[in-house]
Chains A and B, each alone.
Chain A
Amino acid sequence: MALPYYVSPEQMMQDKAEYARKGIAKGKSIIVLEYTDGMLLVAENPSASLNKISEIYDRIAFAGAGRYSEFENLRKAGIRYADLKGFAYDREDVTAKSLANAYSQTIGNIFSEAMKPLEVEILVVEVADGGLPNELYRIAFDGSIGDEKGFVAIGGQAEELRLHLKDKYEAGLDQKAALRLATGALEAVSNVKVKPQSLEVAVLERSRTGRKFRRLSHNDLTAILTDTEQ
Chain B
Amino acid sequence: MHSFFDSMVPGSSFFDLLRQSRSDLLPQMQIQPEGLSQAEIRELKESPHGTTILALKYRDGAILAGDRQATEGYQVSSRRIEKVFKADDHSAIAIAGVAGPCIEMAKLFEVELTHYEKLEGVMLSLEGKANKLSQMIKANLPMAMQGLVVIPLFVGYDVRNGEGKIFKYDVTGGRYEETDYYATGSGGKDARSTMKKLYRAGMTEDEAIAVGLEALIDAAEEDVGTGGPDFVRGIFPTVKLAAMAGLQDVAETRIREICQAIIDRRREAERGA
- Chain B contacts with A in 126-181, Cβ cutoff 8 A: none
- B7–A73 CB distance below 8 A: yes
Residue on B nearest A86 in the bound complex, by CB: B111
The answer to whether B4 has its CB under 8 Å from any CB of chain A is yes
Cα distance A76–B17 in the bound complex, in angstroms: 12
Interface size class of B (residues with CB under 8 A): 10 to 19
- A74–B22 CB distance below 8 A: no
Cα distance A146–B93 in the bound complex, in angstroms: 42
**Whole-angstrom distance between the Cβ of B151 and the nearest chain A Cβ:** 22
The answer to whether A168 has its CB under 8 Å from any CB of chain B is no
- A84–B6 CB distance below 8 A: no
The answer to whether B5 has its CB under 8 Å from any CB of chain A is yes
Indicate whether A54 sits within 8 Å of B5 (C-beta atoms), given known contacts A83-B14, A84-B18.
no
**Whole-angstrom distance between the Cβ of B38 and the nearest chain A Cβ:** 32
Cα distance A102–B25 in the bound complex, in angstroms: 21
Indicate whether A73 sits within 8 Å of B5 (C-beta atoms), given known contacts A56-B118, A211-B114.
yes
Q: Mark B1-23, 1 if CB is under 8 A from A, else 0.
A: 00011110100001001100110
Q: Mark A210-228, 1 if CB is under 8 A from B, else 0.
A: 0100000000000000000
- A105–B4 CB distance below 8 A: yes
- A77–B6 CB distance below 8 A: yes
The answer to whether B189 has its CB under 8 Å from any CB of chain A is no
What residues on B are CB-neighbors of A76 within 8 Å? 119
Residue on B nearest A50 in the bound complex, by CB: B121
Indicate whether A87 sits within 8 Å of B4 (C-beta atoms), given known contacts A54-B118, A76-B119, A79-B118.
no
The answer to whether B215 has its CB under 8 Å from any CB of chain A is no
Residues of B within 8 A of A (CB): 4-7, 9, 14, 17-18, 21-22, 25, 107-108, 111, 114-115, 118-119, 121
